[in-house]
A and B are shown apart, each in its own frame.
Chain A
Amino acid sequence: MSDINRYAVFGGIYNNYLALTAVLDDAERRGAQETYCLGDLGGFGPHPDRVFSILQERGVMVMQGNYDHSIGNDLEDCGCGYSDPRDNHYAALSYAYTRAKTSARWRPYLRGLPSVLRRRWDQQRVLMAHGSPRKVNEFLWESSSSDRFLSRLLDEHEADILLVTHSGIPWQRQVERNRLVVNVGAIGRPANDGRTEVWYALVTVTGGRARAELIPVAYDHLRLASEMRAEGIPEEFAITIETGWWTTCLEILPAKERARGRY
């Protein structure tokens, strides 16, 4: 065995058990030694209960997202952090679906998930958080996070590698002193780029240096969309799955990310 270490990190499953399986297969093929999920198991996909056994059987280390906290504690609201009425309307519909369809027996599991994960990967201090290290539902977008701001987060939270999800669009940036910030995106829905694949991150640490690769993964998205329709999930969500363009949650996007999408 060499001293190369590979870690697969993903987030935002949104009940998309088909993408979850595809991502885990891909990570395995690429030689990931450990696999992490940064939270938000539930969302607008169909059949919320299906992801739990997959995560457990495949030994994924899971942390808590805002959705998991809300479902686990049977709260009224997903705590997604949207501000626009239309975004909140759709978020409420998918949350109501997941809340109704998640078996009560999974609530203690979701409630008990850790809200942060820390690791040492070859001397690098790794911090995994859902939204940001300071707030579970803070959105870290590429075009709205200054380098200096990211450096400050790393300083304040004593990390060399910061891995987050929640916003749903993957990006990575090297900041001062060779430190690395990666938003791993979400595997539950495409990244508003007109492609139907979903994204995760493969982090490689070798000789005390870390780098990340953002990887698109194809899965049976047409089957997912038809299962969503059969479950009565709003059409807007199915369209996103089929086209790769976001139809909701648009108001939280910064200008640059918004301009790249279709709507």
Chain B
Amino acid sequence: MTVRLPIVVPFSPSIDEAQAPEVPFSALDTVWFQLTGTLCNIACQHCFISCGPKENRVPMMTEATVRSYLSEAAELGVRDYYFTGGEPLLHPQFWTLAESVLAVGPLTVLSNGILIDGANAERARTLFDAARYSFDLRISLDGMSAEENDPVRGRGTFEAITRGIAELARVGLSPTITVVEHRTGMGSEQSRSQFLQFVVELGLSRPRVKFMPLLRIGREAERTHGYDSALAWYSPGPVEEALAERLLCSSSRLVTEHGVMICPILLDAPGAQLAKTLRQSMTPIALRWDACRTCVVDGLSCRT
């Protein structure tokens, strides 16, 4: 059976500038690298940026682009860094780039874990030990069984992901496991503690599990449904300080091969492109997209 993937359409803001809540910019604490663009080794049904093995509409970052943003970020006093994709481990210079970032600050890598074999786990461990700063891994797994995980992430992925996690456990690393609540009830207290127990059984000595609400954009909008634009979740004017602090857009930016964007969620929103440099991108943000509701109302935070 061939899976027909929908053509990805860039989405435009759905909320009027004048009506949109505004998030002030506090400081550039975090920089996210869209390291492999939209290239991934799998194609999850709920991927909010519709990544996949042939998906190159957002290109992989060149080593030069990564380095130039890294040095600008360091000059600006950035506190920490994230690699995301797609699957960051598909980048041919992944390990040297990770090492370069770790010379400057802490790094968290978001991965699906499938490419973590014995050799890569050893490399990760070596890097973890050598770096002054924290080198953290985050592996996405969407269920405690193949029956629960594979329908969204693809056949055989449960097996492959848990094997990757076990390799990390074997070298003494404890990645954070992120779980997308793709079915109702997954985020309940009972399911959280079951999941925690489950990752302990996978061998993680310091279990960390992070549940994340669904983003109803990209492929997920096809799997289930998109946002109901008529829902009034917002009001104009600056958001409360506590909320602003929680939102990524007040203190982080996403860098891609093509320039700086507001956040990793809005990768397919041309209106979320800010500038070529980080310095020029440190501006207040009007929350003009339906997806912002997931951050504001459902409490999504992309931080670990």
Residues of A within 8 A of B (CB): 85, 134, 141, 143-149, 151-153, 155, 250-251, 254-259, 261, 263
Contact = CB atoms under 8 A, between A and B. Distances in A.
Nearest to A258: B206
Interface size class of B (residues with CB under 8 A): 20 to 34
Given A85-B189, A143-B133, A259-B174, A148 B104 contact: yes
A261 B208 CA distance: 14
Nearest to B303: A83
B150 interface: no
User: Nearest 8 A-B pairs (CB), nearest first?
Assistant: A152-B77, A146-B105, A149-B79, A255-B136, A143-B134, A254-B134, A255-B134, A256-B134
A152 B27 CA distance: 10
Interface in B104-160: 104-106, 128, 132-136
Given A85-B189, A254-B106, A148 B75 contact: yes
Contacts of A145: 79
Contacts of A147: 104-105
B106 A146 contact: yes
B101 to A, nearest CB: 10
Contact of A149 (B105, B173, B192): B105
Given A149-B29, A255-B136, A256-B133, A144 B174 contact: no
A26 B196 CA distance: 43
A146 B174 contact: no
A134 B174 CA distance: 31
Contacts of B214: none
B78 interface: yes
Contacts of B29: 149
B74 interface: yes
Contact of B206 (A85, A141, A153, A263): A263
Interface majority SS (helix, strand, loop, mixed), chain A:
helix
B80 interface: yes
A146 B28 CA distance: 13
B77 A144 contact: no
A144 B132 CA distance: 9
A92 to B, nearest CB: 15
Given A149-B77, A149-B79, A144 B133 contact: yes
Given A148-B76, A149-B77, A259-B128, 19 more contacts: A85-B192, A141-B134, A145-B79, A146-B105, A146-B106, A146-B133, A148-B77, A148-B105, A149-B29, A149-B105, A254-B106, A254-B136, A255-B128, A255-B135, A255-B174, A256-B133, A256-B134, A258-B174, A258-B206
A85 B210 CA distance: 11
B80 A146 contact: yes
A136 B105 CA distance: 23
Contacts of A256: 128, 133-135
A250 B196 CA distance: 14
Interface string B186-207: 0001001000000000000010
Contacts of B192: 85
24 contacts: A85-B189, A85-B192, A143-B106, A143-B132, A143-B134, A145-B79, A146-B74, A146-B78, A146-B104, A146-B106, A148-B74, A148-B75, A148-B76, A148-B78, A149-B78, A149-B79, A149-B80, A254-B134, A255-B174, A259-B172, A259-B174, A259-B206, A261-B206, A263-B206
A76 to B, nearest CB: 15
A251 B80 CA distance: 17
A78 B250 CA distance: 25
A90 to B, nearest CB: 15
B170 to A, nearest CB: 15
A151 B77 contact: yes
A144 B78 contact: no
B208 A251 contact: yes
